Structure 1
């Protein structure tokens, strides 16, 4: 949040955000104060005075004629008062010292622990016999009890940053957006764009690349957030596809925060940190895989599949990439025109800066390099504005007057850009070429390259085949000695092209020794009995090589053309190894009416599982498959939430799924403090949401130089008479601090002329001590229409009061 000086006077900029404030002092002298406007720098100053008659103030240290003071980010401190003839000024700056950072972090941590305690109190009052408390169950209880939601399954603690086997967790604190944002937080602000994304300090460029690619399709990004959000209590639900199966992940909005900048340490919106979709998708992804550390380094193709669920192919699977780069450019241009999502990757190792895409974005295993070779490779790429082992988005593919160009984006979104031919500063650009590709120059991570340079500097990539109108069918199964317990039986009544896939449990985030850390070889075949014969008329293997090979990867996809037939198609998944393992089959169906029926079958003839069919061409219906019940999901184009069912037949027109996602607040006035009084009645003119964000530089009331502050709110009419039917509202008290962080939200129903009176108190064992107050009318806030919001610091006045309250107001 923007720091402002708390002492009035003549202000002079000394250096780099450090100001000197001079005010009139006692007996004709001067009061000198210092104000640090920087969010992330500490200044150490030494003033050497001639003929000083001075008093060092507060934390100032005097040594003869020299006076020294340290000023931390956002602070205003009194320095000296008195008289002097002249002064020499010295200052240096750097990162704040550890003691200050630790103190700041501890203050926020105390607030978070109180929120956790409030949620645990709700759970104790609403116990479950089985002791199983899912995040969604806890979220519903928090709504019922008007309590800010904390996800007890992914607590805002170090273990969510990194588990024991993942290394030491960084020293970040956790805060809600309503606390660190200057404006009202919301999921989306204006349009969704790739340049919204700032990767932050986590090495997950592959995920940022996937998010940047997905943001080219704003509707797809919005679909990731299910309709059941309760932002006023910090409850968000994100739809992600893990292990080939759609899951709705419930999270809170407590984010890892850099204690210096007080902004998210990881992914966020670059220009508008109050836009939350980037941070919340990353948090949901981290929760899905166990921790933030678990999502470092990866494959953008995998991340895109997890976000959107669409099938993909790697460049290495496509013959043109290997053998004919010219025709591959034409293929990429066609894919780009058809709105496919394309990612590129550079070679390298995970030790590279900003490590992300494994082996060039999933291009296949790169030759191992020595440490010296790695450093040389990094320097070579750095010299041309690229980064090794990094994922990039391919935004546009154009052929202009036989010049083949690609527009590429670095997910860092900054000035780290290609500087060779056709870069922003290249002299190759002519007005005609600029117009042809809509060229703009900016340090935003987006740049152009010619195709010849792309194939020289990038060693692979992936293509996700986007289909907004397809229905996704997913069927869960298990391998028994390498063959499935469920086979999908398709009755085709119209010709169609069909994408299909097979998915194994993701190895990401698994502990060492887990049986699923390695992927087994998988093959999927479409088998059909031919009348008058017992064997196969059509067999298709996953992948595009068509040679019947097994694919040892997390996700494998294929395409097939099916024609109408009286004989059904059997979809068989096989594992190369003799293994027990779960799997998911996926189908992307453009026209569900092309199937007269889809059912599930298995075998009961007593044949050993390993011998039921091997190879797939040995299978035929004489093995007496019987209809069985299977678990399946449907994600319909018009739905955001997947419909999960169990049955023998697929029902493409199911009733709306019964989910545990519906959250209906009992009151329109949820409060974040569990013990806060009831909200104001709703029979007044408009509703005003007041968030008491934090306090700053409050007066010390207790021995030891601290206080236990809390804030009360009372509502008065324009004549100054308190409304008898509106109870006093109160935050919780926070012990031993002069800079409390509450982040608590209240609701009042108000007229424009109503007066809001806030008082800050120090909680004592018996009674309380006044720490100042502020009063203001509703209309003085300047909020005129529903949705208007304003963040404002209100100075505390009265007695020995100091400091201010940081407040956020929203009109509804």
Structure 2
């Protein structure tokens, strides 16, 4: 457990591009017009060249939700759900899988989603918040969305739903990163941290002897976000396979259970595919139409088994560990997976910023950041989690590069240390589609 060297200070909300939501909205209301965001215009530049070229996009127009067919738009209808999300033309499953998990956590989602409406004080302007480098950043957008043939080009509302919070939140995240092209391929860890400000626990499924059911239940009880990823397939693209899974793809973990089967018990795990309704689902054991559901006499069968083409499905934990490569748990309280999947009773944070020591080595110029901290209450298991965030990307680094040229060492004695990367530069897996 780390020790605070300075009192915790509540971070203020940073206004992205110095745009104040209330000021802009009130000005539009007083002028009787809808907001047009010139910092993220309704133009090809906001989509980005990578998507325009790869998807061969043309005839893209921008429309506000009330100008689209399907009836009056809603920001949130009844309540938010992962089933409101339908992935579109951008390969941003890494963000949408994290967002799908966020919908299950009221504590986190209230920080991201402001109370907004298409009727009360509507001026075509919306706002969302994301965690960036130790502080919450508020991003303002207008509600003009790129469409082709009256269909949203990227995340779109579910059929007959007209619920636009996922489309608008995706647009705000695209603006924060630079364009929709910057959502095209990415890393689950980035999205999880940006949506929560939490700490990542990375479980390598092929090598970690972890009790998955207990780990998922412990993380769920702690209010954690839980996602997972499949490895790449024959090609370096996301492709639906014969078993119903998608290669190089991110999923939301929505539950795990022990279920009665024949004369014993079987461990199963529930996942959701951001591709959404009517799209690819697992076709193996414990899938929606499998024989295992017919054979089980578990009294929770009707509660657990919902045979719907909604992108959500069950599979055995054994198959999950074979078919998926990693599971990511993001929580404000780090989870110790090597000592019974327990939560730390207390957790403190030390944050160092911009304390860089310049130096030179035989290999050329380099920046050495050296930080000292103390751990005053050692305990069993993980004592320290170290996260590194780089706020500025070197100009010579391409966005699609899998690794960032950064190394760091943690030297502590006599306790154990876990190094937990934050941001794509230390990711050990390829970007997800």
Which category of TM-score, normalised to the shorter sequence, fits these structures? 0.7 to 0.9
Inter-partner Cα distance in structure 1 for 2:424 and 2:208: 26
Cα shift readout 1:453-506 (whole Å, capped 9, x = no counterpart): 1122112221112559989875532422344487678999xxx97765331237
- Cα distance in 2 for partners of 1:405, 1:483 equals 46
Question: What pairs up with 1:321-336 in 2 under 5 angstroms?
Answer: 322-324=207-209, 327-328=211-212, 330-336=214-220
Q: Is residue 254 of structure 2 the alignment partner of residue 395 of structure 1?
A: yes
TM-score, normalization: structure 2?
0.74
Cα gap change, 1:426 to 1:245, in 2 (>3 Å) = same
Is 1:433 the counterpart of 2:310? The answer is no
Structure-1 separation of matches of 2:209 and 2:408: 28
By percentage of residues, which structure has more strand?
1
Pick from 154, 158, 180 the counterpart of residue 44 of structure 2. 158
Separation in structure 1 between the aligned mates of residue 53 and residue 103 of structure 2, nearest angstrom: 32
What residue is the counterpart of 1:341 in the other structure?
Answer: 225
Residues of 2 paired with 1:133 and 1:435: CA distance? Answer: 51
Instruction: State how far apart, in whole Å, the 1-side matches of 2:82 and 2:234 are.
Output: 24
* 8 Å contact kept, 1:410–1:446: yes
Structure 2 SS opposite 1:241? strand
Contact 1:206/1:298 (<8 A) preserved: yes
Instruction: Give the whole-Å Cα distance in 2 for the aligned partners of 1:252 and 1:270.
Output: 21
1:502–1:555 CA contact under 8 A, matched in 2 = no
**For structure 2, which runs of at least 5 residues remain unmatched after alignment?**
1-15, 335-345, 359-366, 428-433
Question: Quick check: 1:424 aligned with 2:288?
Answer: yes
Stretches of structure 1 that go unaligned for 5 or more consecutive residues are 1-131, 356-377, 527-536, 545-550, 558-812
1:280 to 160, 168, 175: 168
C-alpha spacing 1:271/1:182, structure 2 compared with 1 (3 Å): closer
The superposition leaves residues 160-210 of structure 1 with CA deviations (integer Å, 9 ceiling, x where unpaired) of: 001479746722210111211544433211011111111112111111111
Instruction: Let me know the Cα RMSD of the aligned residues.
Output: 3.8
Structure of greater Rg: 1
Distance 1:224 1:350 in 2: 37
Distance (whole Å) between structure 2 residues aligned to residue 189 and residue 286 of structure 1: 23
CA gap of 1:340–1:556, structure 2 versus 1, over 3 A, is farther
Matches within 5 A, 1:394-793: 394-401=253-260, 402-415=265-278, 416-429=280-293, 430=295, 432-433=297-298, 435-436=300-301, 438-466=304-332, 475-481=352-358, 482-484=367-369, 501-505=387-391, 512-513=396-397, 518-524=404-410, 541-543=417-419, 554=424
1: CA distance between counterparts of 2:349 and 2:234? 34
Between the aligned partners of 2:140 and 2:130, the Cα distance in structure 1 is 11
Distance in 1 separating the partners of 2:161 and 2:140: 21
- Matched pairs, number: 374
**Any idea what the Cα deviations from partners look like across 1:113-158, whole Å, max 9, x if unmatched?**
xxxxxxxxxxxxxxxxxxx974438836545544321111111100
**Which residue of 303, 306, 309 maps to 2:194?**
306
CA distance in 2, matches of 1:457, 1:276: 33
C-alpha contact (below 8 Å) 1:312/1:465 kept by paired residues: yes
Structure 2 CA distance, aligned partners of 1:146 and 1:291?
Answer: 29
Pick 1 or 2: higher relative contact order, CA cutoff 8 A, min separation 6.
2
Q: Is the 8 A contact 2:228 2:324 kept in 1?
A: yes
Distance verdict in 2 for CA 1:346–1:142, change over 3 Å: same
